[in-house]
Structure 1
Amino acid sequence: MVQPSTIEADVIVVGAGLSGMIAARKLLEAGLTPVVLEADERVGGRILTQEVLPGVPVELGAQWIGDTHERMFRLAAELGVETFPQYDEGATSYELVGSGVLRENEFHARFESELRELELVLRRLDVLADDVPVESPWSAPRAVEWDAITAGAWYDAQGLSPVARTLLEICTVGILAVPTAEVSFLHLLFTIKTCGVTSELFAESEGGAQTTRFIGGTSEIPNRLAALISDRIVLDVPVQLIEHSADSVTVHCRGGLVARGRRVIVAISPTLAGRIMYDPPLPGIRDQLTQRLPNGSAMKAFFIYDEPFWRNDGFNGQLISDVGPARMSNDTCIPGDDHGVILLFLEGDQARTYGRLPENERREALTAELVRHYGGRAANPEFYVDGEWSERQWTRGCYNANHGPHVWTTYGPALTRPVGVIHWASTDTATYWSAYMEGAVDAGERAAAAVIAELS
């Protein structure tokens, strides 16, 4: 990595997450010279793999890609990163609305009619989402109506049974990492449309968004990208000020580094982009937008055992619970390693509540939940690790930015619209699989293409 005090480049890229490095590589391929400025001491942004035991990497950040994530499959192949399928054999364990812990077949038999209700609502969401243009959600025929209510309010108006409504909440919070009472219904429909249909968004089996993982860990992707452009990346240089004119930018970083170029791509989440100073100031609509796009709240907790004992009992490692603390879990064992690894998700209110507790209290509550679902062997892991993203200085939340009521229809065009020589890129700005790694690549490619067109 380079460490000069002054840099000259064609394009300055702020942020060495997936969007930023994809943009930088595209710029290099077009014959332009980029430099990537990263506030953190590592690359990857919201991707973070940690090897907690030899040969056992866990994903504290982004973890899966889905069957329709063509850009990510292509990128992995180009970088020589192999993939493997998410383990999905066996039964899911349920614990909803006072049912106690039920095995999947018993749960489905007991709540068959409630699950049919849920399926009908999902199909209706697909129909409504089809009317939302991903490039301009605010222009949907019913955009004003849909943007005036929350996703939670729309769910409540469907007359669902407690089981169906609870499942819908858990699934949606699992994607957006905020309670549905905080998200505009239009934003939910936009998210569905960018991902295809609800079956692709919510499913974890064939066709879903969580079907495939990376051998060696997801960080292999940003680390190998960084190796290709290592002489164009500077770490530990938080950007503080972007001066811009009609045809140039000067970017000032903490510590005195100055980078000068003809364009800048700000490839960080909108709320963090709003914390940078700009001279002259950005238009009011852009600043008002970034004040209204909070990042989600998400925490992942990993329990590592000597073996995946739940598989012997016919479980797939997935639980769905409204008792908690975690609402969902996954078997995240590593092929070729004997350890059993279970990942528990705490998202939205669960992340906010339990993320503030001492680790021993959080671990104790999560252990009790695993014991309820998988028995006494779950009480004695070999290792435990967790991580809450809002505590990370250069991320301040995961998985993505969420639009509350009236944000899309009032401020939406400012999300991706360049401000003179300033362009915006992050998965939050994507129009295909927004909030996923696939969306990050999409956003990086879009911003790079726009800059290349201007400078060519």
Structure 2
Amino acid sequence: MSREADVIVVGAGLSGLIAAREVLAAGLEPLVLEADERVGGRILTEEALPGVHLELGAQWIGDTHHRMEALAGELGIELYPQFEEGETSYELDGRVLRGEAFHSAYGEDMAGVERVLRTLDRMAAEVSAEQPWAAPHADEWDRITVGQWYDAQGLSPIARSMLEICTVGILAVPTVEVSLLGLLVNVVSCGVSADLLSESEGGAQTRRFIGGTSQIPLRLAAALGERVVLRSPVLQIEHAPDQVTVTCRGGLVARGRRVVVALAPTLAGRIMYDPPLPGQRDQLTQRMPQASALKAFAIYDEPFWRADGLNGQLISAPGPARMSNDSGMPEDSGGPGIILAFLEGESARVAGAWPQAQRQDALRAELGRHFGPRAAQPDLIVEGAWVERQWTRGCYNANPGPCGWIHFGQALTAPIGPISWAATETAAAWSGYMEGAVEAGQRAAREVIEVLT
């Protein structure tokens, strides 16, 4: 079986679907090849109970996610605010404290956290998200890990633990695995300074989609119709200056003039290219592994913690979940209560390998410590681990380790002949978020449209 199009798009995640839509709007013909049996990539909504939509993948947009807000409006998808009223529960030194009690007990420690965040602000002002390797101190900052730098800041154990939890909450890897420059790139690309690392993730988690996030890729794919082909893992991309031939498992061969590979870098590196890609690009893909995260939704008959003056958020050193959110509907919806527990970085790797019963028992005990005995008895726990999914093999982020940016970063977005690169990891704005996926898809589409029109 063969197909032809002007632009072949590999991957029907948000970035690939946006690229295809832009190509079609420019009067060119796209063809989207998706390995999975569904569209959406790292967006996945499941209806665990009638009318209860759980976001096993991407869930929120923030106040400055203007591309996503416009896209939702265009597709007719309504937004509602993330519930945040009430106190957060903290467990950092063997005891559980809430809100004001925690800040009163550990005010000096939190001042240390604030000092480090402001220092990161000043350092990030030197870094360009488009060319971080060109920053004046790029070589120095890319040779040390975030963990090493934090350890040298004279922090108390409580402040150091808080920074570890909140940083891993953003990057989904331990701070010993990402360079200081890598963290600064993240701060710059997300456009909200070091406030992004605050316990509520700054302006990155303020609104959700009524009916579920998956409506976005589903409606984008519906508009593309038969131009989206599922169950077609790409095996090889043959490329000449003005021609590409894309071969899929199962026998489909697609031919076009340009190709947009809208996959996370490490997955893009698993495709065979003929002729082979330059070594710098291949070395980059070997150094950008997908991060580790597991989401666990504890479902109750009602959000009882709200009446107790709690916001459903926890910050925990012992874990297994290091952070949580109230993942229910607004107060007047009458829906069930849902607490979303995040296991990220080392916590996801360690507790994620436990037997499910052991992990869920530990989660129940943790929720009980923070939100009371009733929280230890959810009606249902639903888990989602992206590392187990064949066509993602990790979560929402990818982080090069030390020296990754200065040695290989220039290969992240640079086209190679007729090949352009998309996916949220390639975004200069809000990398790792849906907003970044849209930005990357639009940028890759512009690259091919400028050549072909």
Any stretches of 5+ residues in structure 2 without a counterpart?
none
Quote the residue 1:118 is aligned against: 113
**Is 2:226 aligned against 1:231?**
yes
Normalised to the residue count of structure 2, the TM-score between the two structures is 0.98
> How many angstroms does 1:293 deviate by?
0.6
Quote the residue 1:395 is aligned against: 392
Amino acid at match of 1:166: S
Contact 2:195 / 2:202 at 8 angstroms: preserved in 1? yes
Quote the residue 1:24 is aligned against: 20
SS in 2 for 1:167: helix
**Is 2:162 aligned against 1:167?**
yes
> How many angstroms does 1:81 deviate by?
0.5
What is the rounded CA distance, in whole Å, between the counterparts of 1:38 and 1:337 in structure 2? Answer: 38
**Is 2:279 aligned against 1:253?**
no
> How many angstroms does 1:195 deviate by?
1.1
Quote the residue 1:263 is aligned against: 258
> How many angstroms does 1:198 deviate by?
3.5
Which of the residues 426, 441, 445 maps onto 1:444?
A: 441
Quote the residue 1:305 is aligned against: 300
Match runs of 1:394-433 below 5 Å:
394-433=391-430
Quote the residue 1:274 is aligned against: 269
Name the CA shift for 1:448/1:330 in 2 (closer, same or farther; >3 Å).
Answer: same
Name the CA shift for 1:206/1:13 in 2 (closer, same or farther; >3 Å).
Answer: closer
What per-residue deviation string (whole Å, max 9, x for no partner) do you get for residues 230-282 of structure 1? 22100010000001111100000000001000000000000000000011111
Question: Structure 1 residues 8-17 or 306-315, which shifts more?
Answer: 306-315
Name the CA shift for 1:440/1:200 in 2 (closer, same or farther; >3 Å).
Answer: farther
> How many angstroms does 1:53 deviate by?
0.4
Amino acid at match of 2:107: E
Which of the residues 24, 39, 46 maps onto 1:43?
A: 39
Match runs of 1:17-166 below 5 Å:
17-98=13-94, 100-166=95-161
Name the CA shift for 1:97/1:386 in 2 (closer, same or farther; >3 Å).
Answer: same
Quote the residue 1:288 is aligned against: 283
What per-residue deviation string (whole Å, max 9, x for no partner) do you get for residues 303-348 of structure 1? 1000111111110000000010000000011242431000000000
What is the rounded CA distance, in whole Å, between the counterparts of 2:180 and 2:439 in structure 1? Answer: 24
What is the rounded CA distance, in whole Å, between the counterparts of 1:337 and 1:227 in structure 2? Answer: 32
Alpha-carbon RMSD: 1.1
Amino acid at match of 2:372: G
SS in 1 for 2:188: helix
Quote the residue 2:3 is aligned against: 7
Contact 2:366 / 2:376 at 8 angstroms: preserved in 1? no
What is the rounded CA distance, in whole Å, between the counterparts of 1:208 and 1:334 in structure 2? Answer: 19
Question: Structure 1 residues 290-299 or 349-358, which shifts more?
Answer: 349-358
Name the CA shift for 1:324/1:106 in 2 (closer, same or farther; >3 Å).
Answer: same
Match runs of 1:320-335 below 5 Å:
320-335=315-330
What is the rounded CA distance, in whole Å, between the counterparts of 1:345 and 1:150 in structure 2? Answer: 23
What per-residue deviation string (whole Å, max 9, x for no partner) do you get for residues 178-225 of structure 1? 001000110100100011233552357696100010000111111111
Name the CA shift for 1:9/1:204 in 2 (closer, same or farther; >3 Å).
Answer: farther
Name the CA shift for 1:379/1:205 in 2 (closer, same or farther; >3 Å).
Answer: closer
SS in 2 for 1:323: coil
Name the CA shift for 1:234/1:47 in 2 (closer, same or farther; >3 Å).
Answer: same
Question: Structure 1 residues 443-452 or 202-211, which shifts more?
Answer: 202-211
Contact 1:96 / 1:321 at 8 angstroms: preserved in 2? yes
Question: Structure 1 residues 402-411 or 192-201, which shifts more?
Answer: 192-201
> How many angstroms does 1:284 deviate by?
0.7
What is the rounded CA distance, in whole Å, between the counterparts of 1:201 and 1:67 in structure 2? Answer: 12
What per-residue deviation string (whole Å, max 9, x for no partner) do you get for residues 40-74 of structure 1? 00110011111000010011101011000000000
Q: What is the percent sequence identity of the aligned residues?
A: 66
Amino acid at match of 1:451: V
> How many angstroms does 1:297 deviate by?
0.3
Normalised to the residue count of structure 1, the TM-score between the two structures is 0.97
Name the CA shift for 1:352/1:166 in 2 (closer, same or farther; >3 Å).
Answer: same
Contact 1:202 / 1:209 at 8 angstroms: preserved in 2? no
Contact 2:117 / 2:195 at 8 angstroms: preserved in 1? no
Contact 1:354 / 1:362 at 8 angstroms: preserved in 2? yes
What is the rounded CA distance, in whole Å, between the counterparts of 1:386 and 1:279 in structure 2? Answer: 40
SS in 2 for 1:229: helix
Contact 1:95 / 1:323 at 8 angstroms: preserved in 2? yes
> How many angstroms does 1:356 deviate by?
1.3
Amino acid at match of 1:409: I
